[in-house]
Amino acid sequence: MTKKIALFPGSFDPITNAHIDIITRAASLFDEIHIAIGLNSAKTPLFTVEQRLAMLKKIFATSESVKVASYTGLTISYCQQIQANYILRGLRNATDFDFENAIAQNNLQLAPTIETVFFLSSPGYGHISSTVVRDILKNKGSISHLVPKEVLAYI
Ligand code: ADP
């Protein structure tokens, strides 16, 4: 049987408890989940790609079905490279939906066999974003309730 492989693409700058929640919930649906940092020259990250990869590797060190990587170029091209037939994305609100809807439809036209699967935020996670975490950090606030403990080592 073909393995069900899902790609969870994102910036993960840094990874938050909401990302972890989505990965945990998706784990029972797929044989493998590849968390991949999309390298996007339009965004200036707070954490380097090396730091973000190191955080992800530490968090998922004992999860055999979770792989960690970075990629450049189209997300669907990377899916084809790793033989992923699913893209995971999270939805917090209608703004996320509008943005993700357009991307998912374009991806479907480019690669009709790759389905995007959406997870709504779990109760209590909808207010978390990497942007908010970075803003709190820049203003010297505490983020320990928003991110896994492995992220705290990089502050
Ligand atoms: P990107 O820069 O591609 O948006 P992020 O690292 O910010 O990457 O997010 C990766 C994915 O996780 C996106 O699909 C985003 O919508 C989702 N996500 C982030 N935070 C939440 C949250 N609180 N609830 C649900 N999904 C979320």
Q: How far is the CA of 141 from the centre of ligand 1 (A)?
A: 21
CA-CA-CA-CA torsion for 135, 141, 145, 150, nearest 10 degrees?
80
- Residue 43 has a pLDDT of 78
Which residue has a Cα nearest atom 4 of ligand 1? 10
Residue 147: pLDDT band (50, 70, 90) is very high
Residues acting as catalytic residues = 19, 43, 92, 130
pLDDT above 90: residue 1: no
Q: How many CB atoms lie within 10 A of CB 151?
A: 25
Q: What would the pLDDT profile of 16-66 be if each residue is shown by its tens digit?
A: 999 999 999 999 999 999 999 999 878 789 999 999 999 999 999 999 999
Average pLDDT value for the chain: 97
Which residue has a Cα nearest atom 24 of ligand 1? 121
**Residues at CB less than 6 angstroms from ligand 1:** 10-12, 18-19, 22, 89-90, 92, 96, 121, 125-126, 128-130
Q: How far is the CA of 109 from the centre of ligand 1 (A)?
A: 22
Rounded Cα gap, residues 88 and 90, in angstroms: 7
In which element (H, E) is residue 138 found? helix 130-138
Whether the model pTM is above 0.95: yes
Closest CA to 130 of 15, 7, 6, 8: 15
In which element (H, E) is residue 80 found? helix 75-82
Q: How far is the CA of 19 from the centre of ligand 1 (A)?
A: 7
